[in-house]
Each structure stands twice: as structure tokens, then as C-alpha cells.
Structure 1
Amino acid sequence: MTAPFGAPLVGNDWSAALVDPPAPRRVSVVVAHFDQQAQLERTLAALARQTHPTDLLEVVVADDGSPEPPRVPDGVRLVRQEDRGFRLAAVRNLGARASSGDILCFLDADTAPEPDYVARIAALPSALPDVVAVGRRRHAELDRADPAEPVEEAGPRLELPEPTWLADAYRASRDLLDADARSYRFAIGAVLACSRWLLDDVGGFDESFDAYGGEDWEWAHRAWLGGAGLAHVPGAVAWHDGPDWAGRDEAERRARKNAETLRLMGAVGAPGALGGSLLGQSADVVVRLERAASPAAGAVGVVELLRAMPDARVVVPEQVRRALPPDPRIVEAWHGPARVDLRLPAPLLVRGAGPQALADAVRAVGVGDLGGVRLGDAATAVASRAVARDRRWGRPTGWRTEDRSGEGLEPVPDEPDLEAYLGGWWPRT
């Protein structure tokens, strides 16, 4: 897969791209809509006033089966899908497929952008096509404004509070420059932009999401695992008509938010997403045991690893898997997503400082430009996002590998005394 333009991101450092912005590229704005004609008209009017070159701007309205087709002006493309309930993920994918731009900018019909929104949010993915850019969604009572009033004037005049948790997260992470594996929670689908190249590689929004919320976080998490960078662009402002979700009815908000969170628990394997005790369809860490001299050696190594990392999946040779009792964490192969691959040439005793060494390595990789950690000859932790980005570019993209001590990680004998191990009298600690 050949990169169409731009340069590879190194780690998550997109800051240099802001110094010398690239030439504008063709941008497709996909506006998701359902039965919101007045709000749609305000958003389309705002898009007609963008500073991004007109000949490089395409607008596609993707309608999620409104009772009546929305009215759009000449030059705006309309695509529709039948009404089968709330299908925001599917309608965003529909709009993306119907568009032709190098950069995809997703908006909702009730979220009207300021005049320089497209130019600002498209700049980073135009220079660094691995970047997922998130704009600043502000809130206002726009239904009280004259439809002809520019949104950059009506918004500040009728402003409602911004979500504090989101502003705090952007501030603490330096606008996601310090993003990590849980920063997908700060990607808001109504103000999101990425390159078509990245979207094609990681796949579109998960269309199994058929209720409000969560589809943007699932996609952002999947994009992160696929080597994407995350960036918040505070100057790219779009105004949402109405309060933030947190400002709505408490009982309804909590019930719907809980439903969204439960849906994400099964789809996202990031640290903490499952409460530290449940297994989902995604894994945070996959351990790959390359060989074992005997089933007993493999059994000791698997027990040691799962004691140190209870929620990991362990891929083992077939002879080891057959010898062990059934456990959903022990598999012959793993083809699902995972944040870290921990590669072991042979089974290990994890003693003393060993558990901490493994935990520190697993926690560190994939953050900043650290793509891998070698723990002596015992184990290597590799970030899946580093592998994915190098694959996408067809060459190394600047990830570092760090050598650390493998203290506390000792080889298991080829034929250990398994009864003594399970009985607790070997090895002595």
C-alpha cells in the first residue's frame, strides 16, 4: 500500500507539521443527517463560507433514512440509506464511499463549522496522513439565532458550557500530543478528520453500533492500534446546536451512557476498558510463546505469564495447548486486535522483579516513539501500532527499540518437575 502524499508520523509527534502547513488537498466533508432540515441548512451555509479553496472542497450529505429526503443546494451531493433505526456508523461509511477527497472530514448536521474549520482540521492529515485530527466542538443555543447569522457570531453570543472533562483532557495531553492507548476517548466523531488512505487501511466505522454513541471511540481505538496518531486542533471550531450530552436529563443520560459503555467493553481491549477482570473480543496484550521443549515446560511458562498478566492471551504451540486444561486465554492462534505483542523464544519463570519488568515494558511500548522493548534475551514487547504503520508505509517509520534488563525472567528447564511446581516447593523464592 503506497502512501499517496505527505510523510510518515514519528511516534505521535505532529507538532512540526504546524510550522509549515502543506498545500491544501481535496477535502470531502461528510455530513451525517437525520430529519434535521433547519440545522442542516445552517451547517451547509457555514460550509459554503469556508476559506478552504472551493475547487478543493466537496460536500456530501449522508441521510440515515429521514421520513422526507433532506433538501440540499446545487453542488452538494445527497446519498441516503433506508431507515432501519439509528445507524450513524453506517451512514458515515456511506458518505465516505460516495466521496472523492484525499481528506475526509466528518460533521453532524447539527454541528456548524466556523469559516476556517476545514482548512485548519485538514492541515495535519494533509501533511501527515497517519494523523486523526479532532476539532473543537463548542455548544450554543443556535435555534435562537436567525438562520442567516454567521455561526462564528451566533455561537459566542448564545454559548453553552463546554464539557469540562474533555477540555481538561486536551489540556493535560497538550492537545493529544501526549496521547496514549486510552486517548481514543477524546476523539469526537462529529468533528473528526483523517486521510482516506488511513480510513481505507484501518476500515470504516463499525456498523454493528446501532444505538447512540461509541462508534467514534471504537474507530479511534482501532485506528490507534493501526498506527494512527491523534491530534486535537483547537482552532478548528464547530458549533453544536444544543448542550453537551452531560447537560441533558440525568436519568436518561446515565442509562444511555451506560449502554454505550457496555457496548464498548466488548469491542475495545485498551487498558482498563474491561475493569481488569473480564475478557472481551479484543486483547490488550498477546503473548506468543515460540517454542517449548516439553508440554510441562510450556505449562509452567503459561501459568507464570498468566499470574503476571491475568488478562493476556497466550498463543502456544499445539502440543502445549493440548496438554493444558481449557482456558479461553490460552489459544493456538490470535487474529484479533491487540495493543502489544509480547514475544517469548521459550517459557519463562517470572520471579522477583520479573512481573514489574513485563508490566513496565507492556505499558511503555506504543507511547511516544517507543515501538519495542527488549528484556535481555527473554522477551520482546512490540507495539502493534508500530508494526502497522511500518507496514502501511512499506519501510521503517522511526520507531525506537529500547534494551532493558531481563532481571527476574529465568528460563524454565526443558523438563521441569511439574508436580513440585504446582505443589509450591519448586522453585524456591
Structure 2
Amino acid sequence: MPPIDDRENARVTAKPSRRAFLRAAVASGGSAALAACLDDESSLDAPSGVAEPASLPDRQHAWNDALPRDGDGNVRPPAHHVFLGLSLTSEPDAAARETVATALREVEQALEWSGDGVLFTIGYTPAYFDRFDASLDDAVDLPEPDPIVVLAVESNATVDTNDALVHLASDDAAVVLAVEAALFGERGRLNGRSLSATLDAVFERSTRRTGFVGPGLPADRQDGLEGIPEGEPVPDAAPFFMGFRSGFRESQATEDRVTIQEGPFAGGATQHFETLELDLDVWFEESDHEQRVARLFSPEHAERGAVGEYGERLGAETGVDAVTDAIHEHARKDGVVGHAQKLARAREDGEPVLLRRDVNTTDGDAAGLHFLSLQREIGEFTRVREAMVGEEFGRYGLGPRQSNGILQYLRVRRWGSYLVPPRAHRALPTPAPEP
């Protein structure tokens, strides 16, 4: 496990103009943005990868041991993210499969599997597997994505029906841009290494979404952004637009818990990925800090002052498991239930079932969130989302537009489900690949 380091403080104290520039470069993409990030266009000056990628974990989603921890022991996610929706332009035959396998393997040889280098996954939609005569292996729960599960959450969601999604993540903005360019034939070398295969021989990019996470990054972007009121309300140290920390160790499933255990895709996981617009005008203007704490965590957290300005008092544990039994009393007496308080009731034997890797986004110049969760089965995500909606609290007058967690501040815009295979089957898998 990487040791605690001082990069967290560096990310808070770095000049806002530089942080904002790097975030904007990732959002815009392209060769010009990459060149602007590099002092020397010939090299990224990033740590080199491994000579033999077979030495890497079989799980594509095995990121936690490759990332540092913050001062409380929570995994610190990479700062910069790119999500590429891909559509096939050729048949997923043996030749195409080898091209994809080579392109991904060469990225791992060029760059270290870490936040200083690059972490990435490729996942496949139900639409991808529908082209095959055979059915997806029974051990995989990957139904067609159905946004009706958002129930009372206001939405106008577009379902992702492309074939695949590549998620790139790094603390170095230039790295994610360079990897994207290399994968799609816009660079012949990556971190000083020549490349022989690219994804653009097999796929075309159908969507491109970008994100960022970390102390100071949302505050840098809040001025003049659609959906955020004037006055720069996002705390400087907050890693998310809503003003609070997330990803607490106690509220995250382990990578073991979200990993498929049986069948040819054992070692993989399912992935839910959606894009949310945030109504932060209402979030910040119509409630004070204590009310925001009550809605995000619980009324008891607000009463005890347990959270602090942005969650710094919570350490690695939100403590919501201790207030789940009081949730109906809070709904009846306080007229509010907490978002995290509701989600805690969907745990299994007290343990979370989702591993979330959310990031902020300003795609479309609007404040938003790319919500990414990994789980063993999509059905587990559905169960947690139903707990989040909390229809039962309507009996207390807490509909989706009242103080029922944070529902009223969310608008679902895109929605997709993916199988993230183990590394051995990540290149254009069949529904039931041979071991």
C-alpha cells in the first residue's frame, strides 16, 4: 500500500490558475491541449510501466493498492479522468481482439500502473454482447440498463447503447491526454515508447466525458459556472461540488466484495456509470450548512456538529450505521432524512456493496457529477438506488422534492451498465470465453 504523502496538501495549495488550466485542458482534449500541458512534447516524464503486463493484477478494477491514502487512511483517487464511449467499426473477430489486446498492453508497458502513471479499465455494455448468438455467462448479472430505477429522481436520461467504455485516470493531466491520443492514433510514441497498435482500428469514439476530483479543484471552477450561485460557496478544501468529502473507507465496498467470483469472468466486476447535473443554486441558497449536513448525512450529524466544514471531522467513518434505526423518527420529528443514512440501510451484514469512484464534471459548462460504482451484480446497485429514493418516507410528506436526502438536487442525464472483465478477457470478449 502506498504510504501517506504530502501531495494532498500540495493539491490544495497549488496555484488555482494552474489547477484550473489543467482541468480545462483535460476537458477540451486534443493535441493542442496536450502540448500546452507538456514542457517537452517528446516525453511525459512519467514513471515507466512493466515489461510484462501479466505481472499486473488480473482485476482491471484493482486500483486501491496502486493509490496513496489521505491522512485518514481513505484511498485518494487520481485527480484527472476521461471516459470514452466506444462504438465498434469492425467485427469483434480474432484479429480485432489482438489489436485491442496489444494497444492496451502497450499502455501498461509505457506507463506505471499508479496515480503517477495511469490507471484504466475497459467495460462492455449489454448492447455489445447482444451481437453474439450465445448468451452472456450466467454468472454475470448485466441486464439492459433501465433508468426507471431512478423512480422519483427527476431525469431525462439517455441510455448508453455504445459498445464499450474506457476510463482513464491519472494525477497528471498530460498523461490522460497522451494515453487518449496514443490509443486513437494521434501519437506514435507514449512516454518514450513506440506503439504498434491503436484502438481506432477497431473503435470510434462516440462520447467523451471528463472529470476531476480533489481538494481545491471544484472551488477553482465554481466562479461563473452554470448551476452554482454567485459568491463562490464551495469550500476551498472540498473535493466535490456539493462541498463535502466522499469516499470514506467505512462506506466503500472492498475490491474483493465487488469482484465476480465464478465463471469465465471471475475476477471482473459490473459497473454502473451515470452523469448527473447538480442543482447547486438551490443546494447552497435555500439551505444553510447545518441543513446541508442533515440532508447529506443525517439530522443527528447536524445536531452534533459531527461533520465539520467539509467532512474533515469524520476521518474514515461517516458513522451513519449508528443512526439508521432512527431514520423514521428523524423523518417524523425533524422532517428530513439523510442521503448517507438511507444508503446505509442497503448494506449487507453491515458491509457496503458498492465501490464508488465518482468525479466532478463541468462538461457542457454545468456543474455535475459522473457517478461510477463497481459491484458484483447490477442488482446490488439497483437495491442501493431504491434505498436512496426512499419512497417509504412519502408517508411523512418527504417526497423527492422535499428533504428526502439530496434527491431534489439531482438530474440524471446519462445512464449505462457495463461488464468490466478480468484483464485476461478485456479485449473484445465473447459472452462465454474459454478459460
Of Structure 1 and Structure 2, the greater strand share is in 1
Larger relative contact order (CA 8 Å, sep ≥ 6): 2
Provide the TM-score with structure 2 as the length reference.
0.25
Provide the TM-score with structure 1 as the length reference.
0.26
Q: Which has more radius of gyration?
A: 1
